[in-house]
Amino acid sequence: MLNSSKFCMEKIELKRKKLDASGRLIISIDVSSKSEVIRMCREIDNKVKTLKLGLELIYSTGPDIISIVKSFGYKVLLDAKLHDIPNTVCKAAAAISKLGVEMITIHTLGGGVMLKNAREKICELSISSGMFPPMLLGVTILTSLDDSDLKNLGFKNGYKTSVLNLVEAALNSNLDGIICSPNEVKLIRKTYGNNFFIATPGIRLSEDSPADQKRFSTPDEAILDGADFIIVGRSITGKDNISETIDVFLEKIKKVSKK
């Protein structure tokens, strides 16, 4: 039988080779009704390949919304943010992997046993069915937190050191990649190399408001620093002309990807 860790590493190389601008831009769908999702799927017009579905949407509409989104031809990043005792997360990850999503998020703060068990279970299920397993991305420190917030929560070190420690836990657990703010991407690549994916929320155009994000950057800076995926929500979905705004982001990605 194919070793699950080797299988997942080979998958990273295959997927990275296929990435283009439309595959690197992931749009976050932060709405709460099926009608809004359908409208958004149509407005985005398949200019990107993957949509991120989060807690608000799943709890409002149920998991059937995944099938609706996929019926428009999109891949799905399910922002489940799994975080519980290892047994619970392992079973949840197994159940989610059967929904046909391409990416799943899990909190690295859950610890190595939780991360490893979830990764192995997903790979085992996928190998037995002859399918690529969904990518498992480890969430590090939320972009809404800064050093002051972490200090108040009892973290001894700042966010950069904390993120590096969590990235190491994710990599030791054979996760496909991590999610961090764009501010840490360059340091993470310098420290741990390129054999994993990095997805970055907290992406804004220079003229946009940071809203509730405290660690953020522009799409071109994030890609230049080494991000594979950039995740964008309100800076696209909150604009009057979503299609034209997507084009702006895609053009910025294409321009820096050639460097």
DSSP string, 136-165: EEEE-S-TT--HHHHHHTT-SS-HHHHHHH
How many other β-carbons are positioned within 10 Å of the β-carbon of residue 163? 23
Catalytic hit among 47, 81, 160, 254 = 81
The answer to whether 62 touches 36, Cβ cutoff 8 Å, is: no
Q: Tell me the two tokens of residue 74.
A: 């999109």
Q: How far apart are CA 10 and CA 225, in angstroms?
A: 23
CA-closest candidate to residue 48, choices 257, 243, 258: 243
- How long a stretch of residues is the chain? 259
Give the C-alpha separation, 24 to 36, whole Å. Answer: 24
Dump the DSSP string for 60-111.
Answer: HH-TTHHHHHHHTT-EEEEEEEE-S-HHHHHHHHHHHHTTT-SEEEEEGGG-
Letter for the amino acid at 84? D
Is there a catalytic annotation at residue 75? no
CB 253 within 8 A of CB 221: no
Indicate which residues carry an active-site annotation: 81
